[in-house]
Amino acid sequence: MTRITLSRALNEGLRRALEADEKVMIMGEDVGRLGGVFRVTDGLQKDFGEHRVVDTPLAESGIVGTAIGLALRGYRPVCEIQFDGFVYPATDQIVSQLAKMRSRSRGQVALPVVIRIPFGGGIGAVEHHSESPEVFFAHTAGLRVVACADPADAFAMIQLAIAAEDPVIFFEPKRRYWDKAEVDMAAPLSDALALDKARVVQPGADVTLLSYGPLVRTCLEAALAAREDGRSVEVIDLRSLSPLDMETIIASVTRTGRCVVAHEAPVYAGLGGEIAARVTERCFYQLEAPVLRVGGFAVPYPPARTEDHYLPDLDRILDAVDQTFTY
Amino acid sequence: MTRITLSRALNEGLRRALEADEKVMIMGEDVGRLGGVFRVTDGLQKDFGEHRVVDTPLAESGIVGTAIGLALRGYRPVCEIQFDGFVYPATDQIVSQLAKMRSRSRGQVALPVVIRIPFGGGIGAVEHHSESPEVFFAHTAGLRVVACADPADAFAMIQLAIAAEDPVIFFEPKRRYWDKAEVDMAAPLSDALALDKARVVQPGADVTLLSYGPLVRTCLEAALAAREDGRSVEVIDLRSLSPLDMETIIASVTRTGRCVVAHEAPVYAGLGGEIAARVTERCFYQLEAPVLRVGGFAVPYPPARTEDHYLPDLDRILDAVDQTFTY
Amino acid sequence: MAIPSRGHHEKEWHVTAETIQLLTPEGERVDHPEYPVDGADIRGMYRDMVLVRRIDSEAIALQRQGELGLWASLLGQEAAQVGSARALSPKDMAFPSYREHGVAWCRGLDPLRLLEMFRGVTHGAWDPEEHKFHLYTVVIGDQTLHATGYAMGIQRDGSEDEAVITYFGDGATSQGDVSEAFAWASVFNAPLVFFCQNNQFAISAPPERQSRAPIYQRASGFGFPGMRVDGNDVLACYAVTRHALRAARDGEGPRLIEAYTYRMGAHTTTDDPTRYRLASELEAWRLRDPIERVRAYLARSGEADGAFFEQVADEADELAGKLRAACLALPDPPPLALFDHVYAERSAVLEAERAQYAAYLAGFEERGDGR
Amino acid sequence: MAIPSRGHHEKEWHVTAETIQLLTPEGERVDHPEYPVDGADIRGMYRDMVLVRRIDSEAIALQRQGELGLWASLLGQEAAQVGSARALSPKDMAFPSYREHGVAWCRGLDPLRLLEMFRGVTHGAWDPEEHKFHLYTVVIGDQTLHATGYAMGIQRDGSEDEAVITYFGDGATSQGDVSEAFAWASVFNAPLVFFCQNNQFAISAPPERQSRAPIYQRASGFGFPGMRVDGNDVLACYAVTRHALRAARDGEGPRLIEAYTYRMGAHTTTDDPTRYRLASELEAWRLRDPIERVRAYLARSGEADGAFFEQVADEADELAGKLRAACLALPDPPPLALFDHVYAERSAVLEAERAQYAAYLAGFEERGDGR
Ligand SMILES: Cc1ncc(C[n+]2csc(CCOP(=O)(O)OP(=O)(O)O)c2C)c(N)n1
Ligand SMILES: Cc1ncc(C[n+]2csc(CCOP(=O)(O)OP(=O)(O)O)c2C)c(N)n1
Ligand SMILES: [Mg+2]
Ligand SMILES: [Mg+2]
């Protein structure tokens, strides 16, 4: 067990993957000598060389498009998109090529490409550096979409994502990069929870609180605060956004009868809607209240000095939890 | 009253807009001499000149990016994206620039740009020509997203979209381009139903059926068939996908107690989830059954010879309607 | 301020100084110091061109008869495709657009695979490595980045006898991805040949709508050589492509070849070119038919006689007949196939949808009112 | 196969033949037939450069003190920005990236607007038409297409005394949108000057990572002229930009100007350049400081004396002081402001969210436990 940051955990996970399989490559803007703007790839170019850890030209479509070509040649590229707001130029290559190539070829082509995206707000950044575009990719068949929430899971998930034969969009909670926790880097990957499974991170009995990425920690804090009001909140870290692990979710809501979903992305047409719809379909007779959603508003991500009002925080999440008891 | 196709209705609407305001422009691939691959812009370059009806280079990001610049200069560009599957290269310009410019400038910049997108399947096309990407834009704050379903509405909606001060993503039901109906081209635009309002196209009492674009007609056929089973289905054409006209929807579901949403886009993380979640929140005590969704599967749009199995049809919609009575 | 008008001028033919030509429209051989044609199997080239043109016309007929949903004709581009494809070594990899039926043929892909795609049975499903011919790419320009990445992989494998060629059109040169591919190939010195078939049209748009400089000149600004070749001259396409591929394999980096040709047919079977081009222009280009000049050369030089031409014609008809029969025999995919191959590993969500739809279909069969 | 190594070589300074220079690092005037500097207000240029450098250093200090969230320094690029911006006529429109503080200054934009953005009070909110200076664009390259469209609008207005200039960096040249802008500007002959500040870095990436050809050469392949100018020479930047803008207004179409300069500071205040550049390289470039050479010239030529330099220095400090005070006085936006200006017309969904959040906030105030 070592106590490290989430950023460092990813770095160690990438290092393991580079060691385990010489076909694994890292590519992106400033991932080499600089080690990435969040230092997630720090030191990797030094140790694995500039042909395996590649500083690319400044073009996201180029990064994903050439990664696809490298994958066709048998490589396993791990692309870094520097910030969430800069993934959009790569949308066409991701949606029309990366996601569709396998089914287009009737399974004759595999594209084991991972696209790492630091996402979400809360770091006081300028525009385009605090987006949560996950639903774009969750809606796109052929992609696996996951989000890590803590160092230990990040360490395992990035390795699982690289080992997967499917393309994986890997979201990293930017503002949690510096969170520290114990990570057992000796634990065999085979012991890790599968990439498509959700995890109950705080068992509870009265209401189910679903989230992923940066808000998992906020939800845990909310559960703690709720306990003081004598309320037992079960917190689930979804981990996989596509596909959703409905079994774990339904099992919980069936018990609690109440459900709240929290994410930073705008509520409107966000992933919360999908979860609410599915939970309601499966638990129609168990639900004591409608599934409530807490998330970003239907506005562009605001300037840093108002982001605290945009981002769901402990109070807004608790407010929603409380509301589920008013029905 | 003249009986014309939906394609022709759009053509007439565009013509009116070009006549009404000399700042209105049309731009896109092959929109000029060819008149567009669906002939929606047929004859317009001949009558309004090649500087107002512009054949552009082959680049969607370029089309939207330069349209933004033209709007900044006071023009009102109407961009045509040749097929749904080719809007993705323009995602960055749409999501990061077109949608955000107004709020970025605190209201000092308006971008009255319309982006026309023929969408949906059912025409036996090759890959990338049958996509339904509407949720990408509905999730993006700052854009208005609408879909027309019949000639008369198309004629009015395209003019309303061009007159709007906000950017509008305008979806056209490709496979309905050749549907004919009576259109009153003399009717003043002021009489038209507002762009952000839904329309009850078939009143009913037992269940509310929500849809938009190509499936509205299918839903009307389903309502007709259902009547034979003695079931009264209310069909609502949503028209506006962002924002949703919740009042019209809630008013209906409050009466019927049952709701089915149908769209061609994959159900998973599609607009149906948002509608289901909102309806359930507002009508929790009125709902006799969960809101059910009928839509595309979580797979890439299949080859033409299996698209009939992918696309929601009358049977699948009726099946969902029936299911709402099993609760 | 003058805005350039698109005009409607007829494209006049000119082998401008910079255009490399080894066989004139009249079938005269022209030698070029840099581009020898030693070992070129001209009879084979003729045969390939005739066969792919026949495949093409059969496919158009099948589409007219409703057996194909669409077809993108290569008529007029046989020399550009056969010449360049024949320059490939078996290990070289090709990344086509959607019109490279001639390249597919030369790589050994069964034309039926192409018909399957345009019939709507598949999205163009074959194993790219089997014939070193990647899947057709419909989204304009996307494949040029895939080719660049693949070439970067060749470099990383340390392989020195492999190169990549990617095909795209004049219209594609405006697409951002293609310029990004140019930049990447230049920066990484990728063993890659960019083969642009300038067939004078992007559906209805002429090349002047994409740039006011000749396409081949685009390369120099990115730091690698570009050249224009007579795209209706199979020998020139062969020799210049072979030269560029060798340079790529030798570590000299990318090249851009602009094959100056002409799309003699419609953009696709749904297109109506009479709306945007003059018949006279088409007529003018018929005189530079890529196959006729080879036939003239072979006949004049005595390298082939009437018997040969007849035999090839018969072979073409036989091939077309077989192909038609095979096309008509193509079964539609079973409904549930649409759930296959989306993921390599299981997706609970997808499996649930599949099961639900399977049960739904079964319901019909029980009730006997199948779909 | 040799894959070019990124290397770690120091960028050596060279006014290569193609680089236009009118003022040497030592402050010597060099005449150039094509680029006269008649009417150039060199004292004014000096003053602008000193003031913007002072604004820049004050902003960096404010960021260090936690008053700004971020700052992108223009240190070293004063000549490229002031020289080019001073060549603009009042009616010309400028489309900046996010580092053009010197251009903003010359256009008359209150520097406080820039601080508001980097403080996180706004996303950079000003009326682009007021000073003919568009909003900062953070997404690399996007603004080049906006500039192209705007220039197309000028053509359609039939205006012959307006042109557009757009700023972008060496890294941006790899982005597809920038190449698309080149293609469009070429095809439509847009009255547009592409001004690329090659400051030798895209964060940590050197220009060799974007292309192996000099940037200015990119233009010719798209059909318009490109030239390289000494970006640390304010006179050259002024004269060459003025020349290009005139050509644009005269209907000669676009130009690409590569201003060869150097980013003397960090990419932004969050960056640590010691990880990727040698101190010696920075030292070498200090000797070509864009301000020093003008000061040397003014002093030697007697066009300015000590008093002038002192007065400008005092003016700079005073400006910085005022700016700091104004910055500290900037109020945070009211919470509900985040719902404003998303749409011109009403959105029921948004209004519902606004009302709900307003009620939520009110709840806190009632309970007295405000946020
Ligand atoms: C990104 C994208 N936009 C638009 C289209 C629609 N489209 C199909 S072919 C074509 C023209 C392509 O012209 P060119 O690149 O010259 O190739 P050619 O068809 O002439 O072989 C267009 C616009 C597309 N397939 N992809
Ligand atoms: C599309 C996009 N990708 C990545 C980034 C992150 N980023 C910000 S600045 C920068 C480097 C830009 O280099 P250059 O174009 O040379 O401009 P400079 O910063 O040197 O002025 C990068 C990669 C971005 N802003 N936009
Ligand atoms: Mg073409
Ligand atoms: Mg730079």
D58 CA to middle of ligand 4, Å? 22
| DSSP run (H or E) holding C165 | strand C164-169
pLDDT for the residue B323 = 97
pLDDT for the residue D369 = 64
B216 CA to middle of ligand 4, Å? 51
Q: Cβ C120–B56 below 8 Å, yes or no?
A: no
Chains in touch with C (3+ beta-carbon pairs under 8 Å) read: A, B, D
Which residues contact residue D47 at a Cβ distance below 8 angstroms, ignoring those fewer than 6 apart?
D312, D315
Q: Which residues of C147-171 are buried (b: 16+ CB within 10 A; e: fewer)?
A: bbbbbbbbbbeeeeebbbbbbbbbb
Extract the tokens encoding C213: 């400089």
Q: How far is D158 from chain C (nearest CA, A)?
A: 6
C188 at D interface, C-beta within 8 A: yes
Distance CA D371, CA D364 (A): 7
Q: How far is D88 from chain A (nearest CA, A)?
A: 28
Per-residue pLDDT of chain C (371 residues; tens, 9 = 90+): 456 655 444 444 455 678 999 999 999 999 999 999 988 999 999 999 999 999 999 999 999 999 999 999 999 999 999 999 999 999 999 999 999 999 999 999 999 999 999 999 999 999 999 999 999 999 999 999 999 999 999 999 999 999 999 999 999 999 999 999 999 999 999 999 999 999 999 999 999 999 999 999 999 999 999 999 999 999 999 999 999 999 999 999 999 999 999 999 999 999 999 999 999 999 999 999 999 999 999 999 999 999 999 999 999 999 999 999 999 999 999 999 999 999 999 999 999 999 999 999 999 888 776 54
Is B56 a residue whose pLDDT tops 80?
yes
- Amino acid found at C365: E
Q: What ipTM goes with this model?
A: 0.98
Tens digits of per-residue pLDDT, D166-184?
Answer: 999 999 999 999 999 999 9
DSSP code of residue A239:
-
Q: How far is A248 from chain D (nearest CA, A)?
A: 30
Helix, coil or strand: residue C112: helix
| DSSP run (H or E) holding B259 | strand B259-266
Alpha-carbon dihedral sign for residues C95, C99, C100, C104: positive
Q: What share of chain B is helix, strand, coil (3-state, %, to 5)?
A: 40, 20, 40
pLDDT for the residue C2 = 56
Of C134, C123, C139, C125, the C-alpha closest to C171 is: C139
DSSP state string for D150-172: HHHHHHHTT-SS--EEEEEETGG
D134 at B interface, C-beta within 8 A: yes
Query: In this structure, what is the dihedral angle of CA atoms C285, C291, C292, C296, given to the nearest 10 degrees?
Result: 140
- Residues from chain C that touch A25, judged by Cβ atoms under 8 A, are 156
Q: For a substitution probing ligand 2, which of A30, A82, A116, A130 has the most ligand atoms within 8 Å of its CB?
A: A82
Report in angstroms the alpha-carbon separations of C231 from A61, C65, C196, D209. Answer: 30, 31, 10, 33
DSSP state string for C68-98: SS-----TT-HHHHHHHHHTS-TT-EEE--S
pLDDT for the residue C315 = 98
Place of tokens 């009479």: C274
Q: Cβ C344–A74 below 8 Å, yes or no?
A: no
- Residues from chain B that touch A136, judged by Cβ atoms under 8 A, are 136, 139
Distance CA D296, CA D234 (A): 13
Tens digits of per-residue pLDDT, D22-66?
Answer: 999 999 999 999 999 988 999 999 999 999 999 999 999 999 999
Which residues contact residue C130 at a Cβ distance below 8 angstroms, ignoring those fewer than 6 apart?
none
Looking from the CA of A294 toward its CB, the CA atoms found within 13 Å total 29
Is D125 a residue whose pLDDT tops 50?
yes
- Residues from chain C that touch A103, judged by Cβ atoms under 8 A, are 123, 340-342
Helix, coil or strand: residue C281: helix
CB C79 within 8 A of CB C234: yes
Q: Cβ D171–A58 below 8 Å, yes or no?
A: yes
Question: Which residue among C135, C152, C346 places its CB closest to the CB of A66?
Answer: C152
CB C135 within 8 A of CB C124: yes
CB D107 within 8 A of CB D85: yes
pTM comes to: 0.98
- Residues from chain B that touch A104, judged by Cβ atoms under 8 A, are 127, 300
Distance CA D217, CA C254 (A): 17
Tens digits of per-residue pLDDT, D295-329?
Answer: 999 999 999 999 999 999 999 999 999 999 999 99
Phi, psi of A147 (to 5 degrees): -140, 135
Chain B from 287 to 316: CB within 8 A of any C CB:
297-300, 302-310, 315-316
Q: Give chain D's largest Cα–Cα span.
A: 76
Q: Cβ D202–A29 below 8 Å, yes or no?
A: yes
pLDDT for the residue C4 = 60
Distance CA D197, CA D228 (A): 10
Per-residue pLDDT of chain A (327 residues; tens, 9 = 90+): 899 999 999 999 999 999 999 999 999 999 999 999 999 999 999 999 999 999 999 999 999 999 999 999 999 999 999 999 999 999 999 999 999 999 999 999 999 999 999 999 999 999 999 999 999 999 999 999 999 999 999 999 999 999 999 999 999 999 999 999 999 999 999 999 999 999 999 999 999 999 999 999 999 999 999 999 899 999 999 999 999 999 999 999 999 999 999 999 999 999 999 999 999 999 999 999 999 999 999 999 999 999 999 999 999 999 999 999 999
Tens digits of per-residue pLDDT, D84-112?
Answer: 999 999 999 999 999 999 999 999 999 99
| DSSP run (H or E) holding D142 | helix D142-156
